[in-house]
Amino acid sequence: MRLFGFRNMLISFFIALFLVGCGEKKEVFEEVIRPIAWVEVQQSSFNQVRRLSGSVHPVEATNLSFEVGGKVNGVKVKLGARVKRGDELASLDIRNFNLSMQTSQANLQKAHASLSEADNEFKRYAELSKKGLVSKSGFDNAKAAFESATSAVNLAKAQVAISGKDISDSVLLAPYDGKITKRLIEPSMQVSPGQTTFEIEGEDGLEVQLMVPETLIQELAMGSEVDIHYSAFPQLKSKGQITEISSRASTANAFPVTIVISSSIEGIRAGMTAEVDFVFAGVGRTGYTGPTFHLPISALGAGEGQKSYVYVYDENKQIINKRQVQTESIINNRVIVSSGLKNGEIVATAGISFLLDGQSVRLLDRHIQRFN
């Protein structure tokens, strides 16, 4: 009886286990496909841009002044007036110059009279000398008097010419077509020779003058084209051409450089601030020069031995592969990569530390974004 009871208990135990096993559901674990932020890379030039500030100046501009001094008789132009070459700008009182001319002309007449007398005397002594009727010293004195009278006439003629020039210089004329940008005289004002009276700006266009540091001056070449930006007009950009590069440094080891603005731009005036973009070929830390890929810093991971890597998306397998790349520099928060990538490849740009080589992923957006 005991054996029969033990057998029944054993059978009941196995039946219970079977029933329990049949009642449990098997759990199924599905792989999570992680979405990634990404960019499609394109090869671009490894050019670097340095923007330097300068100021706008007229290509042709000069200070005007009288060559003679005197009292201003009249001013014919106002500030900002446009003038043509030869236009009268201002004049001086010429009464003193006329008196000087009269004196010079009187001295010339006197000198001519003295010369005529000396000439007759010299000719008479020359005839007598041929006949031996005068001494050699008498002839020499007559000759010296004639030469002195001749010099006096020439001097008097020069004085007349100077007086005439003074009268002519009492009128200030425009040297070329342009605009009056400064007016520093008024009628009845006393001016000195060489004192600035006007500033005139020509119509040959505008230029930008700036200082280029010694570290960049070797990268510039005459005739190179550059982009110019203007602080007063943030949306405005124009082209310019390098026309002058100084061979000697000026302030703080910087070299003066002049850039002529290629086209006339309405609103740009002399004295405004301009910023010039100088573009030159970049050189990576490995010495590399050539086409590169530009990636956001978040796309790179740090590997062993200071090596860098990225995750490249395999469109066919829909996985990412870890790949080593060669970095050259960082410009404007962008990493410059010289090798390890191809045009059109898709690179993950976020959460690099949480990704694995061979991991299945999906692209966060369908629209392809390009990052250059």
Q: pLDDT for 313-354, tens place per residue? A: 999 999 999 999 999 888 878 899 999 999 999 999 999 989
Predicted local distance difference test score (pLDDT) of residue 370 = 46
Query: Which of 75-79, 191-195, 260-264 shows the lowest per-residue confidence on average (mean pLDDT)?
Result: 260-264
Quote the CA–CA distance of 144 and 149 in Å, as a whole number: 9
Identify which has the larger pLDDT, 32 or 181. Answer: 181
How confident is the prediction for the chain on average, in pLDDT? Answer: 87
More confident of the two residues 305 and 29: 305
pLDDT at 7: 54
Q: In this model, does residue 20 exceed pLDDT 60? A: no
Closest of 348, 342, 337, 343 to residue 307, by C-alpha: 337
Mean pLDDT of 305-316: 92
Identify the pLDDT of residue 1. 45
What confidence score (pLDDT) does residue 30 get?
61
What local confidence, expressed as pLDDT, does residue 17 receive?
52
Q: What is the pLDDT of residue 25?
A: 52
| Residue 364, Cβ density class (10 Å: 0-12 exposed, 13-18 middle, ≥19 buried) | middle
Q: What is the pLDDT of residue 21?
A: 52
Indicate whether 186 pLDDT > 50. yes
pLDDT at 57 over 90: yes
CA 362 to chain centre: 48
Residue 3, phi then psi, degrees to nearest 5? -65, -40
Helical segments of the chain, H only: 2-23, 95-131, 136-169
Residue 33, Cα to own-chain centre: how many angstroms?
53
pTM score of the predicted model: 0.60
- Contact (CB, 8 A) for 229 and 240: no
Query: Judging by DSSP bridges, how do beta strands 361-363 and 34-36 pair with one another?
Result: parallel
Strand partners, 327: 337
In order of their start, the domains of the chain are 36-46+286-371 (2.40.420.20), 50-59+204-281 (2.40.30.170), 61-91+172-201 (2.40.50.100), 95-169 (1.10.287.470)
